[in-house]
């Protein structure tokens, strides 16, 4: 077997979390090697040309959750990152000719078009949700208290952490405590029905509960997913979503520069075949080409199912852990499309150009529509009336398309991770994509005819290209038993896996999916603690 110089840490995968983790470790003086399977860094946060002259964020497409501390520590702005706000947050076109526009200074008047009672309740809704999201946001860069059976000495620091958490929970007022419980235990739909009576505002807010969540908005668990999508900010504006100029690849390219400045060694086209184990300890990795990289510690940016079912000898894992990983639920039920457009979409309800074309355009007029779309997908693979969010990033960024032309990101929810009739997504890709485009066309006639080219990524494509098992954009469902101290498995919520020297730094660890950088940041802290020991 060929040998390469030893390093302190080998990181499997150059997704954004792998890069963040690499940065902090190298900054602390460790020799770090990142091995990325693809020929491009960034994992699900990349920008690629999908048609000559047309570039777009291939998978993830909008930014909010990226932690301000990480932006500052990695000096991402100095490395070229620029994030701009949408001119309008969301736009919900309706078939009856009306629409709802949601954004700073506009939401109240807009909601009042449908219900004055709902408009009056907006401030209280945001205030109450704000208290809960502040608490959860504050936990993102923390390591959850770990459940350990390793005796009092190991348990004591975890008890202290749990105590600090209890104190923060205690500081919430009673209403916020009740809201937190409701959001963790109930559905987004039930929560929103308690607050509002008109469909459009419930649809705009409820969409957050089903993004990357193959579930009805009326299923328990969707409440937390709604909260998860509110944890970010853009340029200091809490809960806002924005656009990285140059697409999401600009985020990871800036991270790569930060890593390079710290001396991180990065290999592209370097798929790892297995984790090297010696005397029960992770001792490096072996690449597909047989090359070994020996290291004192191995950190995986992969989703836990992929890591433990493909790269680690199962005989070396505790039986219960293996069973839990087998049962770990993945499959976010999403189809992603990039389209090259000869012109901007013209919505029947608002045909002129305007700020609404910079917004997250949600095609799903009500929670009931989303509920039906989910149930149809369970039976037929996708709904004839699907849920589509569309963004036209070229309205904010002229680097993506030739002058006069545009690119749009279509993020289609509620497509079955595995088709219920056993067919392959390879045989249904175009049929599903046609339905998504026809759906946008219903609200913006002429849209289909303006599509010059399209790139369609089914759940199967997301798995093949990005290693996202089941096409899961979050590295595992964001459900109570797969969150916080239980992500990925209770007893391993502290980034340490059940093999000495092996760590997880990807979205399958706390605080889960999205372009946050938080798992990478937190994993680095725990690895450094162990190195210092």
Query: Which residues make up the interface to ligand FAD (CB under 6 A)?
Result: 12-18, 35-38, 43-45, 59-62, 65, 271-272, 301-302, 334, 336, 462, 466-468, 473-475, 506-507, 513-515
- Measured distance CA(523)–CA(143) in Å, rounded: 8
Identity of the residue, 60 or 187, whose beta carbon is nearer to ligand FAD in the bound complex: 60
Identity of the residue, 58 or 450, whose beta carbon is nearer to ligand FAD in the bound complex: 58
Sign of the Cα torsion 513, 516, 522, 527 reads positive
| Nearest distance in Å: CB 109, ligand FAD | 28
Tokens, residue 227 = 């909260």
Identity of the residue, 66 or 165, whose beta carbon is nearer to ligand FAD in the bound complex: 66
- Measured distance CA(315)–CA(310) in Å, rounded: 12
Identity of the residue, 17 or 253, whose beta carbon is nearer to ligand FAD in the bound complex: 17
| Nearest distance in Å: CB 5, ligand FAD | 19
- Measured distance CA(459)–CA(473) in Å, rounded: 9
Tokens, residue 335 = 């189809």
Identity of the residue, 239 or 467, whose beta carbon is nearer to ligand FAD in the bound complex: 467
Tokens, residue 166 = 């209890």
Identity of the residue, 94 or 370, whose beta carbon is nearer to ligand FAD in the bound complex: 370
HSE-CB of 404 using CA atoms within 13 angstroms: 2
| Nearest distance in Å: CB 232, ligand FAD | 8
Residues 6 or more apart in contact with residue 126 via CB below 8 angstroms: none
Identity of the residue, 248 or 405, whose beta carbon is nearer to ligand FAD in the bound complex: 248
| Nearest distance in Å: CB 143, ligand FAD | 16
Dihedral over alpha carbons 454, 458, 460, 464 (to 10 degrees): 40
| Nearest distance in Å: CB 439, ligand FAD | 18
- Max CA-CA distance within the chain? 72
| Nearest distance in Å: CB 438, ligand FAD | 21
| Nearest distance in Å: CB 287, ligand FAD | 8
Identity of the residue, 213 or 216, whose beta carbon is nearer to ligand FAD in the bound complex: 213
- Measured distance CA(348)–CA(336) in Å, rounded: 24
Burial class (CB in 10 A: 0-12, 13-18, 19+), 39: exposed
- Measured distance CA(358)–CA(361) in Å, rounded: 8
| Nearest distance in Å: CB 234, ligand FAD | 11
Relative to beta strand 265-267, strand 32-35 is parallel
Relative to beta strand 387-391, strand 360-363 is antiparallel
């Amino acid at each position: 077997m060929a040998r390469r110089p030893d390093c302190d840490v080998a990181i499997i995968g150059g997704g954004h979390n792998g890069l963040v983790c690499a940065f902090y470790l190298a900054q602390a003086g460790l020799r770090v090697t990142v091995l990325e399977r693809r020929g491009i860094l960034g994992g699900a946060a990349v920008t690629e040309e999908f048609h000559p002259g047309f570039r777009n964020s291939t998978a993830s497409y909008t930014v909010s959750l990226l932690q301000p501390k990480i932006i500052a520590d990695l000096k991402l702005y100095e490395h070229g990152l620029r994030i701009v706000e949408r001119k309008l947050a969301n736009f919900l076109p309706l078939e009856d000719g009306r629409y709802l526009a949601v954004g700073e200074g506009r939401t109240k008047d807009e909601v009042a078009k449908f219900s004055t009672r709902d408009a009056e309740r907006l401030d209280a809704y945001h205030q109450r949700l704000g208290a809960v999201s502040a608490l959860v946001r504050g936990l993102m860069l923390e390591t959850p208290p770990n459940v350990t059976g390793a005796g009092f000495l190991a348990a004591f620091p975890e008890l202290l952490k749990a105590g600090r958490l209890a104190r923060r929970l205690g500081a919430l007022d009673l209403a916020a405590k009740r809201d937190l419980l409701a959001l963790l235990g109930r559905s987004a739909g039930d929560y929103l029905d308690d607050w509002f009576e008109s469909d459009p505002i419930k649809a705009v807010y409820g969409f957050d509960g089903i993004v990357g969540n193959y579930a009805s908005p009326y299923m328990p668990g969707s409440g937390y997913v709604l909260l998860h999508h509110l944890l970010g900010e853009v340029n200091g504006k809490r809960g806002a979503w924005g656009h990285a100029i140059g697409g999401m690849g600009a985020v990871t390219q800036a991270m790569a520069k930060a890593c390079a400045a710290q001396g991180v060694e990065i290999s592209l086209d370097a798929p790892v075949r297995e984790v090297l184990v010696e005397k029960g300890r992770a001792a490096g990795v072996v690449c597909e080409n047989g090359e070994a990289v020996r290291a004192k510690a191995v950190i995986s940016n992969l989703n836990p199912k992929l890591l433990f079912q493909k790269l680690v000898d199962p005989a070396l894992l505790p039986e219960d852990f293996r069973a839990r990983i087998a049962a770990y639920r993945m499959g976010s039920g999403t189809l992603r499309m990039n389209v090259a457009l000869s012109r901007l979409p013209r919505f029947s309800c608002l045909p002129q150009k305007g700020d609404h074309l910079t917004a997250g355009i949600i095609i799903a007029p009500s929670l009931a529509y989303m509920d039906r779309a989910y149930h149809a997908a369970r039976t037929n693979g996708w709904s004839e009336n699907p849920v589509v969010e569309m963004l036209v990033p070229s309205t904010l960024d002229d680097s993506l398309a030739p002058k006069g032309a545009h690119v749009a990101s279509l993020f289609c929810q509620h497509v079955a991770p595995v088709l219920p009739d056993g067919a392959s997504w390879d045989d249904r890709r175009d049929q599903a994509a046609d339905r998504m485009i026809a759906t946008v066309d219903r609200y913006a006639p002429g849209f289909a005819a303006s599509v010059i080219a399209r790139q369609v990524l089914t759940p199967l494509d997301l798995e093949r290209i990005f290693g996202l098992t089941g096409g899961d954009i979050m590295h595992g469902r964001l459900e109570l038993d797969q969150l916080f101290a239980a992500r990925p498995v209770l007893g391993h919520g502290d980034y340490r896996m059940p093999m000495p020297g092996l760590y997880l730094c990807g979205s399958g660890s706390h605080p889960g999916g999205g372009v946050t950088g938080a798992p990478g940041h937190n994993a680095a802290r725990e690895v450094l603690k162990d190195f210092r020991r």
